Amino acid sequence: LSSFALVMFWLMNACHWMHEFNQSLKYDKRMYAADITGSISYARALARAKILTEEEKIKLVNGLDTVREEWERGEFQVQPGDEDIHTANERRLSEIVGPLGGKLHTGRSRNDQVATDMRLWLLGQVDDIAQSLRGLIRVMVERAAKEKNYLMPGYTHLQRAQPVRWSHLLLSHAFPLHADLQRLEQMIPRISVLPLGCGALAGNGFQLDRDFLAQDLGFQSVAENSMYAISDRDFVAEFMMWASLAMTHLSRMSEDLIIYSTAEFGFIKLSDAYSTGSSMMPQKKNPDSLELLRGKTGRVFGNMSGFMMSLKGLPSTYNKDLQEDKEPLFDTVDTISASFKIAEGVIATMEVQGKAMSRALQASSDMLATDLADYLVRKGIPFRETHHISGRAVALAESKKCSLQELTVTDFQSLSDKFGPDVKEVFDFEHSVQSRSSIGGTHIGMVERQIEVLRAALANQ
């Protein structure tokens, strides 16, 4: 092949390959409504600045409304040359209103336009996401309210540690999700900053009233630095960091529930609707819903860290790398919305096996070894010493091949003369959980307090 032929080959194909590589319309068309809303406000601002006559403004706004209707009805015809949602909408607008369409972009750049669209679009999603997160937390809280009498082993290191109420465990997953809800709401003022009217990078040269634009579009504030405004994707990164943390919370809860749903634990039964069978083993019921919640956490993290890689090292203001913000953000929004919904479904429909929980408790009275130590503390012995005596009691039971609670009062008294016949009262799981009655403990009143705290917080949001 001569070098001339080689160059011709690359040039002839470039048009198609480069267009495919460069275009974002395939995915950014989902922001069509935000793009049109932004353009309508921009036309109003241009008219206020006397760049457009009233009549021109009305024509443009009507034209933009028509473009929106075409998208809504699925009638918008994408043309081969359309690169992104901004050029596609403007091309179509000009077809409808004629050369006047070319006036809309006066003083505007796709740089301030796309940053505005992304923020508008995300603000629209945040409300829905908060709503589904609220729904999930509510289901968890109401489930906890109903099942607060179930006791189960609480684990550290996945080893039986101390008895707790099942509701206490469930709420231990609801609180971090509620903190996520607060974090999401606190993010809104940082998303709601208006870039429009910053032009390509240096600002707008047509005395556009940006306060009017912000008000008209419902933004809380106006970006103060045009160069920052058009290159800033911190809100995208922050949202994905938020989503990564929220997914981590879902993932840890899923992991608990996966373990509890095994035959070895048997504490919960997932409903069939949220499990699947095995293609080979007829007896299997797999917790696919929970495994996907856990697995998709990796995907959301990947979206976040991948985009951070794209941002790192960019020179000032707009670079096309920034177009890489969209797919990870859209995917993150879709994934987390679906995840909250599925998590809510799983929790609403699973069955809790109180009997299996209590069987697991009965099988391990040495979980009350701490309570035994606490008993001696109440008789005046320093905790470090009681901890030691209680350890010896566990060892004694082991050597006698019986459980801790099967030791006799005489056995106990051989370890310390502070033991009385009332030591037998220690071996009562209900007594144990009820002794944890400070705020935050697993005492019924303290669990009810948690339920009230979350109910009140949700009612105010």
Chain residues 112-151 in contact with ligand ARG, contact rule CB under 6 A: 114
Residue 244 annotated among the catalytic residues of the structure: no
Choose, from 278, 316, 431, 437, the residue flagged as catalytic.
278
Among 31, 41, 46, 84, binds ligand ARG (CB under 6 A): 84
Q: Which is nearer to ligand ARG, 141 or 230 (CB)?
A: 230
User: Given the complex with ligand ARG, which of 317 and 365 has the nearer CB atom?
Assistant: 317
Encode the chain in three state secondary structure. CCHHHHHHHHHHHHHHHHHHHHCCHHHHHHHHHHHHHHHHHHHHHHHHCCCCCHHHHHHHHHHHHHHHHHHHCCCCCCCCCCCCHHHHHHHHHHHHHHHHHHHCCCCCCHHHHHHHHHHHHHHHHHHHHHHHHHHHHHHHHHHHHHCCCCEEEEEECCEEEEEEEHHHHHHHHHHHHHHHHHHHHHHHHHHCEECCCCCCCCCCCCCCCHHHHHHHHCCCEECCCHHHHHHCCHHHHHHHHHHHHHHHHHHHHHHHHHHHCCCCCCCEECCHHHCECCCCCCCCCECHHHHHHHHHHHHHHHHHHHHHHHHCCCCCCCCHHHHHHHHHHHHHHHHHHHHHHHHHHHHHHCEECHHHHHHHHHCCHHHHHHHHHHHHHHCCCCHHHHHHHHHHHHHHHHHCCCCHHHCCHHHHHCCCCCCCHHHHHHCCHHHHHHHCCCCCCCCHHHHHHHHHHHHHHHHCC
84 vs 90 by CB, closer to ligand ARG: 84
CB of 200 to ligand ARG, least distance (A): 7
Task: Output 120 or 184, the one with its CB closest to ligand ARG.
Answer: 120
Of the candidate residues 322, 333, 367, 393, the single one contacting ligand ARG (CB under 6 A): 322
Supply the minimum distance, in Å, between the C-beta of residue 180 and ligand ARG: 28
As measured in angstroms, the least distance from the Cβ of 231 to ligand ARG is: 10
Nearest CB to ligand ARG, comparing residues 68 and 233:
233
Minimal distance, residue 310 CB to ligand ARG, in Å: 11
Please say which residue, 173 or 233, places its beta carbon nearer to ligand ARG: 233
Least distance to ligand ARG from the beta carbon of 444, Å?
Answer: 55
Q: Catalytic: which of 157, 279, 399, 438? A: 157
In the set 94, 323, 358, 434, which binds ligand ARG (CB under 6 A)? 323
* Min CB(189)–ligand ARG separation in Å: 24
Binding ligand ARG (rule: CB under 6 A), the pick from 68, 110, 119, 143 is 110
Binding segment (CB under 6 A) for ligand ARG, from list 45-53, 71-79, 107-115, 388-396:
107-115
Binding pattern for the stretch 302-321 against ligand ARG, x by CB under 6 A and - elsewhere: ----------------x-x-
Annotated catalytic, 278?
A: yes
| Positions that interact with ligand ARG (CB under 6 A) | 24, 84, 86, 110-111, 114, 318, 320, 322-323
* Residues designated as active site: 157, 278
